Amino acid sequence: MFFRKTRAKDNRWFFTELPWYIQVFGFFIKGDLIVLFPLLVLIIFTGFISVQFMVLLIGIYVAVRNLGEMIYWFSHQFAGRKYRPNDFGFKNLGNHAIYILYQTLSIAGVMIGIAIMLYVLLFL
């Protein structure tokens, strides 16, 4: 699938964007899969020990991953704006606007992750 042995891993492979249905899990480029996919599998397997702990780990994962993305896109606003990520169909928006869109989506993700963590800690 993503880790073909016959294909050499280079920057082009590493920075290849993934389809939207994979990005939902916090994997935005193929390079993310190297560490984050095994981490998410490990988090899911913790559900066999404790579902509550697994949900807590998912909340932490969502919050930390989105916090990192928020900082990443925030820093892009003050650098050269050459990179154009998926623009969700907003073809008329400039790169700066797309970066802000990603940043605000990440803010929402941080809030959702923290809400999951708090819910598990307070009510489960």
- For residue 2, the model assigns a pLDDT of 53
**At which residue do the structure tokens 């803010």 appear?**
107
- For residue 116, the model assigns a pLDDT of 94
**Residue 26 burial (C-beta neighbours within 10 Å; 0-12, 13-18, 19+):** buried
Q: Flag whether pLDDT at 80 surpasses 90.
A: no
pLDDT tens digits, 90-103: 899 898 888 888 99
Q: Rounded to whole angstroms, how far apart are CA atoms 113 and 111?
A: 5
Average pLDDT of the chain is 87
Q: Flag whether pLDDT at 66 surpasses 50.
A: yes
110-115's contacts with Cβ under 8 Å and 24+ in sequence apart are 110/62, 110/63, 110/66, 110/67, 110/70, 112/62, 112/63, 112/66, 113/59, 113/60, 113/61, 113/62, 113/63, 113/64, 113/65, 113/66, 114/59, 114/63, 115/59
pTM as predicted: 0.77
What are the boundaries of each domain within the chain?
11-123
Binned at pLDDT 50, 70 and 90, residue 6 comes out as very low
- For residue 106, the model assigns a pLDDT of 92
Mean pLDDT calculated for residue range 32-44: 91
